[in-house]
Structure 1
């Protein structure tokens, strides 16, 4: 058994102090000193497999003393260390050691470390440098479950360049570690390669160096893996990111958050293989590193929705990738059904601990299917090409067929109990204890989640609008659109009848879910924030009830919205879905509050999220914890959370959208803007969002201190533009119009 097991086997490893370099589907994780010691999550990875878990650097048998580390974008990191001599009374180092890590996508080069040793002692230095390497070729699900795996045997590779290979006889996966000298020193060109005594699978590379004063020696440690995947598994993208490069000016914290988010989303990109480099590829973003680095229906759709203000390219690729894998038949093991949209795609079947076994292609999600239709409708509004909309419309039709099948006797979309070794819950809160009532009791399926009713309502009304707009006068499409508008009306009425709960303070709030008997599950939860923009709430009073509950001390923290009320039994700020704060969940609440008129509340919550972002170096993690007591004056990391994570990163785009409050209809050539005034966000000067994308047009928006708005990049004669005190220019700087509607 190897050292790669977690210190406490059976528990998910922590990541909050981990340095992550990412270029999906490859990544590397280590402690802050860059050493891979074969513990926890340490390693180089590709396609959900760990290629190396140990790559430990030693000088004269000791680890260099760590000094500093610095990320270089999402893909690279620099680690600095020193070696000191006990014989030197000044404790000044005699060797400087640098370690430069780079992760490359498999088709763009090899991942690995450059190790550089420099003699700064002023006299000739003689030392031994060694690198110890080993691997278990474990899959990510096994590592996440904290389960130990045996090391894989190692063999030396014959050739001019020193190299060793580990090979798994179970599935023919293998990894090669190759050594390339960069700046040889006396005696330090070719290493001696020896197995580590008593540790099968571990190997040591050893150099005997002699360095003159100021002389440097360096070597490149290159990692190359070959793993098995399911047919049609996504590949690294060959083309650039499918969105406009956007920026925020005049709001420094928002600017820092967006810049980091776009870099992380770029690193999370994957694509379906296309036939030629010139053919437009279908790109999407993987859900998160390290646990969910693949196509996940719900996560990838939400990230694409959030990124729509910066272009429809990500939505297009995500929709086509999911349509290609849409369910066509019934399968009890994968939960596939005709029209159903994929939940997750893995390179192989995975075992997650506690008896859970998930197939490589898994469909157990109640929300991905209606969200697929919502994304198609919203992408059409933001300017997705009509040829893409028409090509995807049959898939939307099939998806709505599944939605209709999933509706129960109460006219709600629900899910039942799946197989015993699969997921219990099928919403975004999918942990076993995610759905609990006010007394802390678990509520198991059948379940109808509140936010899913909102998604289904949006899907029904959006699908009806698409059918009407693209029908071309066909009676059958008009009749089908009318049928879905009626279905939406019935869903809305059922929601109004079954979900509302009277709170102790006289304020009503929507239940997190309705159980199989039609009874609401008591206790406020953050899911209600997803309803604000869905259209399912019937009037201003219902919107106000949701807004007031979200902003109450039960749910709101200084840094975002809790997933579960702090006043309820079973609340825990470190519970995955029972009290933690999720970045995307809070951003959806900010956007919903802003676009439904609760601007001050939205600005307050936005400021809190930016405070949280500052604590995490402007990389919002998947989730974090907020203590209910004010004695702990900052958000705490949720140690196992993904960093980066797709919808957490894309939340930056959604927050930009919340600031501007756009209502976009590219087919109808209409743009409405109701921006949040700078003063409400604590700014005393104008701010701008540059790089919005309306179809093929690039648009910049500037919001002045008094709330008046400049729009650059659209023609006022062609577009109907609505905003307060707006000035429109065509991009040349010449004002076309200035008016206050």
Structure 2
């Protein structure tokens, strides 16, 4: 049984956030309600018995898509004498279903008035996030003989919530009711269906034809069982690791998202509650993390992002030819271009990461057909890097938003307004070139060179890309190196001045391979040193920097996904012990979150807190946090595709015990990996 006041269940683009009674009573600024496709379809869903609200005894978080609430009338002091039990069993699967069961424990019959208050404000998720609910259309409620229809209409944009129940209820504009009689020890049950409709011109549901996980519980259960059965099996003496692995696999299943009009293919949505949609960067990085475990996600993600690649110059959407999208939204504000996410392209790293993922996927899968299929999109992405991303003409990828009203200022993964700064705390002007993106570009060019030489039949293009990558590496190590700190600057400003703070971004440079070999040891020392490493993980910004704040979104918190790529990079350069230190800290932290790592948590030193400090508005589950344990497993086991085979070179933290990962899929078929923790990390913690 979970313990929380907020209950979340989800399936793809549909999710419910409620109180621990199952009730929903949202305000315009709360991410509470039934949401689908960036719209709140229920903002009120309150159950009453004889006019009184109910009190919770407990609830079961059964699966990601279902929950069960156990309730009684009266206040807590009356629980022992409760004569009624009320059970609400709820599931989502494209829409919403609730089964209501009432049991009479009294020796006498009872007459009950059962009432469900229901309403919807049809708030766009952006309106909820910005705490501005400004509806410009018409909200309506229509009572029919066998259902209640709640709706919102603005031009051709229509959203409806259709409520029906069995046995038949009495409907009114504010909900529905039953009058029931129960004999002693008798129970009564009703099944309530809530259908969400996204209607376009002509009244057609825009989601017709999408792959659905199913609306029936058995279909959802079968889908989850099939998902888990296809994944590698983990056997571990470390029980917490096994629990975290299973939690990650289940959450990945929950976060699968089917974009409209793309035939039901799925990719990872970014996270609950704010980001249940596709994000280029987040989906790609999650696929890189999970590739050894869920390779099919990478294939569909690459195809979906390729199909939506930029084709024109559009300042409103920050779109360029060849650019990979940042974010796609389906709500009212996107439909009426009150914000640009239809789709929005303001991500500076998704494009090189697209190339990185395709190459990595081919190395694992041997899927040459996809490499051939996406050649045109890859060449367009490389042209974007060279022709459109170098805003200053210095050979780097820069960013500056062209949509100055609603576009993102910072278009790197640290996208909050104050995440990029000089050592004195000042913010640099635009355009900006962050260090990790140059690493991604370097890696992308080398990987694209391999694809061009081996599959596209273009060795001259491959040679050119390799020369460009070598020049970029030399230039980068000259311009970004902070000599008085012996690390790489977070970014450059348009004059070439360094944003000379010490940040976690230097770890991404290791996994991209752009770091000169003779500087790698110093970078590793910084990453596990006291300014960056807390014992739980690597902070986003080092302690002692002017803008450092252990609960600053990108200025001192710990991001699990960030740490997973840092650990992977450390292994790439031979620092297996340092990678194990980081893996151990993050996996220890996961145990305090019941195996579900949040988006971020506080960057306080471990000796100061007995448990990781929660960040109040962190998404959970979040895709790349869910993928973190999987990439850490790959890193600890040293799993790497090598000449058509899977190489295994384990280096586990001390105390990890024996680990078996069975049936790892790839071009080799399915193979097993085994490891035992024998690593002595004492010297790193002295």
TM-score, scaled to structure 2? 0.89
- Per the TM alignment, residue 687 of structure 1 is displaced from its structure 2 partner at its CA by 1.4
- Per the TM alignment, residue 234 of structure 1 is displaced from its structure 2 partner at its CA by 9.8
Q: Deviations over 1:15-52 (max 9, x none)?
A: 98532111111111112222101232221111111100
Match of 1:263 in 2: 250
Q: Which of 412, 430, 449 lines up with 1:445 in the alignment?
A: 430
The answer to whether the Cα contact below 8 Å between 1:297 and 1:322 also exists between their aligned partners in 2 is: yes
Alignment of 1:205 with 2:176, yes or no, is yes
Change in Cα spacing, 1:275 to 1:458, as seen in structure 2 (3 Å) is closer
Alignment of 1:220 with 2:191, yes or no, is yes
Separation (CA, whole Å) in 1 of partners of 2:283 and 2:36: 20
Secondary structure of the corresponding residue to residue 424 of structure 1: coil
Separation (CA, whole Å) in 2 of partners of 1:340 and 1:233: 29
Match of 1:69 in 2: 59
Match of 1:498 in 2: 479
Q: Deviations over 1:278-328 (max 9, x none)?
A: xxx643111112212222111111111111112532111111111111112
Alignment of 1:382 with 2:344, yes or no, is no
Change in Cα spacing, 1:118 to 1:237, as seen in structure 2 (3 Å) is closer
Alignment of 1:634 with 2:611, yes or no, is yes
Change in Cα spacing, 1:270 to 1:234, as seen in structure 2 (3 Å) is farther
Separation (CA, whole Å) in 2 of partners of 1:686 and 1:64: 48
Separation (CA, whole Å) in 2 of partners of 1:275 and 1:584: 28
Match of 1:145 in 2: 130
Separation (CA, whole Å) in 2 of partners of 1:530 and 1:402: 22
- Per the TM alignment, residue 149 of structure 1 is displaced from its structure 2 partner at its CA by 4.8
The answer to whether the Cα contact below 8 Å between 1:236 and 1:269 also exists between their aligned partners in 2 is: no
Change in Cα spacing, 1:497 to 1:16, as seen in structure 2 (3 Å) is farther
Secondary structure of the corresponding residue to residue 637 of structure 1: coil
- Per the TM alignment, residue 696 of structure 1 is displaced from its structure 2 partner at its CA by 5.7
Q: How many residues align?
A: 654
Secondary structure of the corresponding residue to residue 458 of structure 1: helix
Change in Cα spacing, 1:328 to 1:312, as seen in structure 2 (3 Å) is same
- Per the TM alignment, residue 229 of structure 1 is displaced from its structure 2 partner at its CA by 7.1
Q: Which of 388, 396, 415 lines up with 2:399 in the alignment?
A: 415
- Per the TM alignment, residue 175 of structure 1 is displaced from its structure 2 partner at its CA by 2.5
Q: Deviations over 1:200-240 (max 9, x none)?
A: xxx14232332112211222222112125798999445687
Separation (CA, whole Å) in 2 of partners of 1:16 and 1:396: 46
The answer to whether the Cα contact below 8 Å between 2:158 and 2:199 also exists between their aligned partners in 1 is: yes
Deviates more, 1:414-423 or 1:170-179: 170-179
Separation (CA, whole Å) in 2 of partners of 1:243 and 1:380: 23
Alignment of 1:545 with 2:533, yes or no, is no
Match of 1:512 in 2: 490
Separation (CA, whole Å) in 1 of partners of 2:332 and 2:403: 15
Alignment of 1:247 with 2:222, yes or no, is no
- Per the TM alignment, residue 112 of structure 1 is displaced from its structure 2 partner at its CA by 2.5
Q: Report 1:84-483 matches (<5 A).
A: 84=74, 91-105=80-94, 110-149=95-134, 153-159=139-145, 161-181=146-166, 190-195=168-173, 203-228=174-199, 235-237=210-212, 244-250=230-236, 251-271=238-258, 282-348=265-331, 350=333, 357-405=339-387, 406-407=389-390, 408-421=392-405, 422-472=407-457, 477-483=458-464
- Per the TM alignment, residue 190 of structure 1 is displaced from its structure 2 partner at its CA by 4.6
Change in Cα spacing, 1:229 to 1:526, as seen in structure 2 (3 Å) is farther
Alignment of 1:671 with 2:646, yes or no, is yes
Match of 2:629 in 1: 652
Q: Report 1:586-625 matches (<5 A).
A: 586-625=563-602
Q: Which of 31, 49, 56 lines up with 1:59 in the alignment?
A: 49
- Per the TM alignment, residue 418 of structure 1 is displaced from its structure 2 partner at its CA by 2.5
Secondary structure of the corresponding residue to residue 383 of structure 2: helix
Separation (CA, whole Å) in 2 of partners of 1:706 and 1:91: 53
Separation (CA, whole Å) in 2 of partners of 1:417 and 1:467: 32
The structure with more radius of gyration? 1
Secondary structure of the corresponding residue to residue 83 of structure 2: strand
Where in structure 1 are there 5+ consecutive unaligned residues? 1-14, 182-188, 196-202, 708-741
Separation (CA, whole Å) in 1 of partners of 2:229 and 2:415: 30
- Per the TM alignment, residue 705 of structure 1 is displaced from its structure 2 partner at its CA by 5.7
Separation (CA, whole Å) in 2 of partners of 1:156 and 1:508: 68
Alignment of 1:532 with 2:510, yes or no, is yes
Change in Cα spacing, 1:395 to 1:209, as seen in structure 2 (3 Å) is same
- Per the TM alignment, residue 645 of structure 1 is displaced from its structure 2 partner at its CA by 1.3
Secondary structure of the corresponding residue to residue 79 of structure 1: strand
The answer to whether the Cα contact below 8 Å between 2:138 and 2:154 also exists between their aligned partners in 1 is: no
Where in structure 2 are there 5+ consecutive unaligned residues? 214-222, 680-686
Separation (CA, whole Å) in 2 of partners of 1:34 and 1:536: 51
The answer to whether the Cα contact below 8 Å between 2:12 and 2:258 also exists between their aligned partners in 1 is: no
Alignment of 1:20 with 2:8, yes or no, is yes
Change in Cα spacing, 1:431 to 1:16, as seen in structure 2 (3 Å) is farther
Deviates more, 1:314-323 or 1:203-212: 203-212
Change in Cα spacing, 1:122 to 1:696, as seen in structure 2 (3 Å) is farther
Separation (CA, whole Å) in 2 of partners of 1:318 and 1:112: 30
Secondary structure of the corresponding residue to residue 456 of structure 1: helix
Deviates more, 1:523-532 or 1:628-637: 628-637
The answer to whether the Cα contact below 8 Å between 1:85 and 1:94 also exists between their aligned partners in 2 is: no
Q: Which of 495, 501, 507 lines up with 1:523 in the alignment?
A: 501
Separation (CA, whole Å) in 2 of partners of 1:610 and 1:253: 8
Separation (CA, whole Å) in 1 of partners of 2:513 and 2:78: 73
Separation (CA, whole Å) in 1 of partners of 2:554 and 2:578: 23
- Per the TM alignment, residue 404 of structure 1 is displaced from its structure 2 partner at its CA by 0.8
Change in Cα spacing, 1:485 to 1:134, as seen in structure 2 (3 Å) is same
Match of 1:3 in 2: none
The answer to whether the Cα contact below 8 Å between 1:234 and 1:270 also exists between their aligned partners in 2 is: no
Q: Deviations over 1:486-543 (max 9, x none)?
A: 111111011111111135xxx511111111111110211111111112110111x321
- Per the TM alignment, residue 272 of structure 1 is displaced from its structure 2 partner at its CA by 5.6
Match of 2:219 in 1: none
Alignment of 1:689 with 2:658, yes or no, is no
Structure with the larger helix share? 2
The answer to whether the Cα contact below 8 Å between 2:570 and 2:578 also exists between their aligned partners in 1 is: yes
RMSD: 2.8
Separation (CA, whole Å) in 2 of partners of 1:533 and 1:94: 62
Q: Deviations over 1:138-196 (max 9, x none)?
A: 1111111122356964434323x343433334554233342323xxxxxxx6544345x
TM-score, scaled to structure 1? 0.83
Q: Which of 35, 38, 49 lines up with 1:48 in the alignment?
A: 38
- Per the TM alignment, residue 596 of structure 1 is displaced from its structure 2 partner at its CA by 2.4
- Per the TM alignment, residue 57 of structure 1 is displaced from its structure 2 partner at its CA by 0.8
Match of 1:710 in 2: none
- Per the TM alignment, residue 275 of structure 1 is displaced from its structure 2 partner at its CA by 9.4
Deviates more, 1:591-600 or 1:573-582: 591-600
- Per the TM alignment, residue 482 of structure 1 is displaced from its structure 2 partner at its CA by 1.0
Change in Cα spacing, 1:590 to 1:16, as seen in structure 2 (3 Å) is farther
Secondary structure of the corresponding residue to residue 330 of structure 1: coil
